[in-house]
Amino acid sequence: MADEIVLLSTWPSMFSMRVRVALAEKGLEYEYREEDLWNKSPLLLKMNPVHKKIPVLIHNGKPICESMIIVEYIDEVWNHKSPLLPTDPYQRAEARFWADYVDKKLYDIGKKIIWSTKGEEQETGKKEFIECLKLLERELGDNPYFGGENFGFVDVSLVTFSCWFHTYESYGNFSIETECPKLIAWTKRCLEKESVSSSLADPHKIHDFASGMRKRFGIE
């Protein structure tokens, strides 16, 4: 019996992209549904009544919400190829810790750079953002991926932010490559993978999207 997989998503969301990367890593076919967050579909509201957010993965009619929880679910169900989490409990704990760090820090701090109207808040956001990236770069060390020799859970959690880097750099007036060259090398390495390059949005389209949103909110 074939699995029925539906992904409720929006194209600019780095959280949705994480699920797309995971599905691609496992070689899974699925139906992609673009949501309009200003006019949420009845299906989205039914499948995620608690948060009413994307991404939502619907597997044989049952919804799973929260991007890294979805990624872990995909990894556990389709464990026949491309494991995203290692088998060793300590390494798994380290992977979960860093994915959680990316979740808790990067998005909220990054928001200050793009959406803030106050210069001081934007400057603080930029400094904090760079600090976070530097910490992550140190964690990567000399490994090709955060998962070590193989692309893994933490790589999935962070790589989708990379298509937003150009936007952060543009509004924050800084260069991530100057600050974190190893991290940029890592993003390029990840983009060589089909699962990543086919799932990430074009950075210039993201920039146009952000610019449009800023105008809508009267920031630009």
Partner 1 sequence: MAEEEVKLFGTWASPVSRRIEVALKLKGVQYEYIEEDLTNKSPALLNYNPVNKQIPVLVHNGKPVAESLVIIEYIDETWKHNPILPADPYERAMARFWAKYIDEKFWPAAMKIVVAKGEEQKGEIDEIQQQMKNLEGELKEKKFFGGESLGFLDIAANIIIWLVVAQEALGMDQILNEEKLPVLYGWLQRLLDDAVIKECVPPKDRHLDLCKVKFGSSIASK
Residues that bind partner 1 (CB under 8 A): 50, 59, 62, 64-66, 69-70, 72-73, 76-77, 89-90, 92-93, 96-97, 100-101, 135
Q: Is the CB of 37 or the CB of 69 nearer to partner 1?
A: 69
Residue 57 main-chain phi, psi, to 5 deg: -100, 130
Cβ at position 211, least distance to partner 1 in Å? 30
Q: Is the CB of 36 or the CB of 80 nearer to partner 1?
A: 80
Q: Is the CB of 25 or the CB of 169 nearer to partner 1?
A: 25
Are 126 and 172 within 8 A, CB to CB? yes
Cβ at position 35, least distance to partner 1 in Å? 19
Between CA 167 and CA 163 the distance in angstroms is 8
Q: Characterise 126 by phi-psi region: left (phi > 0), alpha (psi -120 to 50), beta (else).
A: alpha
Cβ at position 96, least distance to partner 1 in Å? 5
Q: Is the CB of 104 or the CB of 205 nearer to partner 1?
A: 104
Angle (CA) 78 157 85, round 5° = 40
Cβ at position 101, least distance to partner 1 in Å? 7
Angle (CA) 207 208 211, round 5° = 85
Residue 180 main-chain phi, psi, to 5 deg: -135, 70
